[in-house]
């Protein structure tokens, strides 16, 4: 969310710059949102800056030098982190990428199918299904983790990659978003025209509707990716083998080593810093789809 807020700052400034007439008033109006957004950005980015700077500090510098003074130990921290238990950190990173990447992809597919179906087709129970989904949106996933564990235990699937992937494939919020988006972006006339021309329903969906839904689906993918990447409780309950841990769990075990062993602060901080990078990269790469999203919205209105 923070990067969304950051993105909007320059665009808000841009509109005021190009607008003609009564500039003093315009400027005064733009000042408040700009400052608000800047404050929001500082609020969100300050902890990130702390992590970035703290990850450069060696163990002895961490608590003794000034908080925002870069340290000298980044490379050592990196080496230590990679050496910790034969580089299990990178295994966690890979696991997180698998859970979040594959999980978000599958979840986006499911959301696209069901969202499209709910938006375009009229069938009995459609509203009932949608209302159940809405209820699902309101239900925090944390509540579901334990029941999901008990269910998967019955199927003997706990402590496996599947146990973390499966529950995350159905995202009520993703389906909800896809339905709203499909209803707005895919005109019923176009679907009707496709049918008149003799295209099958599958063809209409893949060739006509899906391309129109892409910006919405990108949003679903991103939301789901971030949600899975940051998820803690579900993998915590499901997994016991730390070779399958995602990064959130792995870092937690580094912190909670028992009373007689000090927490590995430098490793955790460096690890947390590295874990943020893929998310930032993903947002930067997918940003252009988002501007497309804004653009298409603008054309329509």
Q: Which residues bind other proteins (CB under 8 A)?
A: 59-60, 62-64, 132, 136, 143-144, 146-158, 162, 166-167, 169-170, 172, 236-237, 240-242, 249, 252-253, 255-263, 265
- For the bound state, the minimum distance from the C-beta of residue 250 to other proteins, rounded and expressed in Å, comes to 9
Which string of b and e fits 162-195 if b means at least 16 CB within 10 Å? ebbbbbbbebbbbbbbbbebbeebbeeeebeebe
In the complex, minimum distance from the CB of residue 253 to other proteins, in angstroms, rounded to a whole number: 4
| Cα–Cα nearest to 242, from 234, 252, 227, 228 | 252
Kindly give the residue spans of alpha helices, DSSP state H, lying in 155-264: 161-169, 172-185, 188-196, 201-203, 210-230, 233-238, 247-255
**Closer CB to other proteins, residue 198 or residue 262?**
262
The token duo for 215 is 């910006």
Cα–Cα dist 79/73, whole Å: 10
Closer Cβ to other proteins, 263 or 292, answer by number: 263
The full length of the chain comes to 301
Quote the least distance from Cβ 215 to other proteins, whole Å: 27
Q: Cβ of residue 266: shortest distance to other proteins, in angstroms?
A: 9
Of residues 215 and 244, the one with the C-beta less far from other proteins? 244
Least separation in angstroms between CB 190 and other proteins: 30
Q: How far is CA 282 from the centre of its chain?
A: 9
Q: Which is nearer to other proteins, 148 or 282 (CB)?
A: 148
Least distance CB 71 / other proteins (angstroms): 13
Tokens of 222: 């991103």
Closer to other proteins at the Cβ: 215 or 224?
A: 224
Cα 54–58–60 angle (5° rounding)? Answer: 110
The smaller minimum CB distance to other proteins, of residues 194 and 235, is found at 235
């Amino acid at each position: 969310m923070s990067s969304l807020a950051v993105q909007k700052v320059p665009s808000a400034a841009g509109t005021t710059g190009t607008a003609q007439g009564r500039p003093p008033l315009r400027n005064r109006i733009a000042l408040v949102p700009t400052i608000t957004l800047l404050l929001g950005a500082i609020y969100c980015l300050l902890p990130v800056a702390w992590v970035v700077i703290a990850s450069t500090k060696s163990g002895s510098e961490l608590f003794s030098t000034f908080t925002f003074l870069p340290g000298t130990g980044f490379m050592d921290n990196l080496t230590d982190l990679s050496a910790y238990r034969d580089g299990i950190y990178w295994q966690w990173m890979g696991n997180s990428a698998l859970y979040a990447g594959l999980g978000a992809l599958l979840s986006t597919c499911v959301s696209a199918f069901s969202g499209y179906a709910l938006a375009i087709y009229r069938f009995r129970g459609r509203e009932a299904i949608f209302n159940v989904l809405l209820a699902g949106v309101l239900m925090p996933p944390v509540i579901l983790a334990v029941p999901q564990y008990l269910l998967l235990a019955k199927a003997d699937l706990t402590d496996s990659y599947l146990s973390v992937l499966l529950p995350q494939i159905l995202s009520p919020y993703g389906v909800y978003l896809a339905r709203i988006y499909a209803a707005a972006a895919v005109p019923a006339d176009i679907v009707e025209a496709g049918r008149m021309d003799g295209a099958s329903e599958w063809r209409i969906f893949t060739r006509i509707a899906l391309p129109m839904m892409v910006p919405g689906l990108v949003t679903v993918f991103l939301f789901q990716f971030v949600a899975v990447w940051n998820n803690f409780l579900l993998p915590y309950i499901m997994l016991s083998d730390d070779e399958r841990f995602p990064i959130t769990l792995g870092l937690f075990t580094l912190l909670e080593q028992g009373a007689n062993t000090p927490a590995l602060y430098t490793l955790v901080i460096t690890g947390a810093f590295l874990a943020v990078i893929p998310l930032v990269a993903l947002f930067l790469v997918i940003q252009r789809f988002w501007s497309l999203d804004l653009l298409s919205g603008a054309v329509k209105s």
